[in-house]
Structure 1
């Protein structure tokens, strides 16, 4: 074989999607073997699902011929989030090329053949550019606005309308795993490396089973992580607004003092003016503290140095095609910046 392709599949409550996904991945592995002479492995990360996702993953590991597709499953002790789940997959992947795909099959696995073709041409990073024909106009407009806003604010050139459906060269994976980031925004981090990359446009399908795990709060957190990861403009803006507020308050103080000294009539207390000033000051200061809080939170997470993930147990395909957990295997603690390929 000319090498190995690793496909990372992060999963959270994906009951009903696992079997059809692995059927497509097994067919894809055969085509990868035929067209590129490469073996394929799947690194499936169960993000502490509460449904039958883990059981379905185990079943696929038992049923699939390991000579066609090697299946490795890692179950987390808690939900560590989507981005960290992908990062754990990068740490565990052993391939010369490492791809990531969602378990809901909205991103077509077969497109990885085209990704591999571009990788063979010399591209270090190949990512999918999503088109959603079924998406409503307000949501589509919001997504487009966010991608263009973060690209405008960022010091790095970030691709528009690109998600986490991508393929990376082994060297890029090693660089990403060596970075120390407890709140990763992987699509931006990978794009900011400046390596040779290309985007491929595709139609995103509708989800067949289950519900999307990305609600408004998750999307908002991802947006905040993306902005605070790639630009300090909001932090600088808060400083500028603070200076403007100080200047405006100083001018008003001078105006009121001058009027009080030069006026022949007693000055009214100006209850409405004082109330508006106080409310405006409170709102502005609260906004500034909120922006600074996002950055302080990131600094706190970096300094605290929490584990990236705790893996309760891993399941490997046996020599006869069965899936088995390693007996007596200790709990594995995975740290950011600790990338030991021998320990995968």
Structure 2
């Protein structure tokens, strides 16, 4: 845990290292502002050393060029650029794998999450918490989107096989003990937020209001948010498969009872049932639709199993700054160079 890491150099205790984890994509306009704000926070925390770990998801603007300028001036900045956009979750997991700190603080480059909370995060970490998360009280977004987020987290908390913290965003502090366990995760479709919560022994949270982005646009439209929700549900629950099983059993029982009813009516009551073309078509289409839905659910899980067993690299690295990374392949199981 955070307060259990003590190494000495001579007679003096070394200063702990905090890794600042920031996945970026087309954030050229936000980099300087984020760097300056975070550096200013730690100027007020002289007892800690810091490093910046950026993972560039193959930005289409001058994000990596700007990172190169900053890295030239400050050797504490480490940056990794991928050969293509691998998605936020894989970018984030790769960033954690390349941290060296006693703890890592994940924060978005747009500073919608206030860096001023970092000292409070560290204070709770020093008290023995291995994960400290920012709990979003209010967001600057459409009401329906906020309502949808709350409904998703409520659902995920109820159906998840792991303990998932409600309303927790990506602004968090993670202790080295959790990072080591996280680095051993070899999931091709990771839901990092949920995995971190499931690996924590003592997690706590700090509520705050999220502010509006100043520069650039959000990289998470509704389509990507739906994808994250699917990753969260598929990665932390088998409920969809169970629902398919239960629904299939109920439909089978209902169909069997209906068949008995028709047989009883024909044999015991002497009724002659007219052939109903429309009824047959409706029932047939209904059965086909159910089969398609359930096969789709099963297919989602099978596709993830297929991707997982191929053992392909999580990401492929194109360039790196101030960090030794094997070109082409990032470490697979949390082995940091």
The answer to whether TM tops 0.5 is yes
The TM-score, its normalising length taken from structure 1, stands at 0.89
CA RMSD of aligned residues (A): 1.8
Alignment partner, residue 80 of structure 1: 86
Tell me how many residue pairs correspond in the alignment.
324
Alignment partner, residue 340 of structure 1: 335
Alignment partner, residue 198 of structure 1: 204
Deviation at 1:151, TM superposition (A): 0.2
- Aligned with 1:7 (options 10, 20, 30): 20
**Deviation per residue, 1:29-73 (Å, 9 max, x gap):** 32232xxx1110000111000111111111222344x4xxx1011
1:128/1:165 contact within 8 Å kept: yes
Deviation at 1:79, TM superposition (A): 0.8
Alignment partner, residue 282 of structure 1: 288
Alignment partner, residue 68 of structure 2: 58
Structure-2 separation of matches of 1:189 and 1:232 = 15
Deviation at 1:289, TM superposition (A): 1.5
**Deviation per residue, 1:234-258 (Å, 9 max, x gap):** 1111011111122222222333333
Deviation at 1:121, TM superposition (A): 0.8
Are residues 1:123 and 2:129 paired? yes
Alignment partner, residue 8 of structure 2: none
Unaligned runs of 5+ in 2: 1-13
- Aligned with 1:243 (options 249, 252, 261): 249
- Aligned with 1:231 (options 237, 249, 266): 237
Structure 1 63/334 Cα, relative in aligned 2: closer, same or farther at 3 Å?
closer
**Deviation per residue, 1:137-158 (Å, 9 max, x gap):** 2111111111111001113221
- Aligned with 2:35 (options 22, 28, 36): 22
Deviation at 1:27, TM superposition (A): 1.1
Structure 1 315/335 Cα, relative in aligned 2: closer, same or farther at 3 Å?
closer
Structure-2 separation of matches of 1:330 and 1:125 = 30
Alignment partner, residue 331 of structure 1: 327
Structure-2 separation of matches of 1:81 and 1:134 = 24
**Deviation per residue, 1:175-232 (Å, 9 max, x gap):** 0101221111111111112411100111111111111111122111111111111111
Structure-2 separation of matches of 1:137 and 1:3 = 41
Structure 1 110/269 Cα, relative in aligned 2: closer, same or farther at 3 Å?
same
State how 1:45-194 maps to structure 2 within 5 Å: 45-64=55-74, 66=75, 70-194=76-200
The TM-score, its normalising length taken from structure 2, stands at 0.91
Structure-1 separation of matches of 2:170 and 2:231 = 15
1:306/1:335 contact within 8 Å kept: no
Deviation at 1:278, TM superposition (A): 1.5
Structure 1 28/288 Cα, relative in aligned 2: closer, same or farther at 3 Å?
same
